[in-house]
Amino acid sequence: MRWRITPCLIAVFLIGSIAGAGPVLAEDAEAKTSSAVTNILFEYDADEFASYRIRDSGFLDITFARNTPEALYSEILNKLQKHPDIKGVLSGRGGPVCTRF
């Protein structure tokens, strides 16, 4: 018996493999970004004055307390922006006031 692969069957395999690869890559980018952000913020004990959200694509949205000192804000932001696993950073200082400062 000879097996015949039809164009429709080939299309089903290609679409299945392409569709399956997308979410895996997005999850991988999100996991890498999450790990990088967590490590950087941990260095500064920033859970008291920063909140963030990571997009599926690996981009970071982060909000710092409005009274975060400029030097600290700039230092953390610089590390986040330079990290290779973080695709981009959207940041601001509009969060609730932190009693630490």
What is the SS3 assignment for 88?
Answer: strand
In a domain, 101, yes or no: no
Whether 25 shows a pLDDT value over 70: the answer reads no
The range of the structural domain enclosing residue 58 comes to 8-95
In a domain, 56, yes or no: yes
In a domain, 3, yes or no: no
Please tell me the pTM assigned to this model.
0.70
Confidence of residue 96 (pLDDT cuts 50, 70, 90): very high
State the pLDDT at residue 62.
Answer: 96
In a domain, 28, yes or no: yes
In a domain, 57, yes or no: yes
Mention every residue, 6+ apart, whose C-beta is less than 8 A from residue 59: 33, 86, 87, 88, 89, 90
Mean confidence (pLDDT) of the chain: 81
Domain count, the chain: 1
Mean pLDDT of 35-62: 91
Whether 80 shows a pLDDT value over 50: the answer reads yes
